[in-house]
Homo-oligomer: A and B are copies of this chain.
């Protein structure tokens, strides 16, 4: 695989990697129904707020979510809702797997 090809797949892999975590998938799913602040997400997830903040920064650095500070809170929203398409395929993979 030449350098350019590798770079192309690496870039894509980075995005999938950002999604490939239960907490981050949950966050994306929640945000698909509208923006939420870090404290709301933290309450839903039940982890330390610093952990949730780090997950959000991973998603943000890859351009999947965007943040907006309003007062004391930082609200996050989905920037690229197409990531929701991942869910259906995951379900199909699981169904296909068990259906053998």
Interfacial residues, chain A to chain B (CB-CB below 8 A): 1, 5-6, 9-13, 15-17, 19-26, 29, 44-46, 62-64, 79-80, 82-83, 85-94, 96-97
Instruction: List 23 A-B pairs, Cβ < 8 Å.
Output: A1-B45, A1-B46, A5-B26, A6-B22, A9-B22, A9-B29, A12-B22, A13-B20, A13-B22, A13-B25, A15-B89, A16-B16, A16-B20, A16-B25, A62-B93, A63-B93, A63-B94, A63-B96, A63-B97, A82-B89, A82-B92, A86-B86, A86-B89
| Copies of the protein in its oligomer | 2
- The answer to whether B89 touches A85, judged by C-beta atoms less than 8 angstroms apart, is yes
Closest 9 CB pairs of A and B: A63-B97, A9-B22, A16-B20, A17-B20, A82-B89, A12-B90, A10-B22, A15-B90, A9-B25
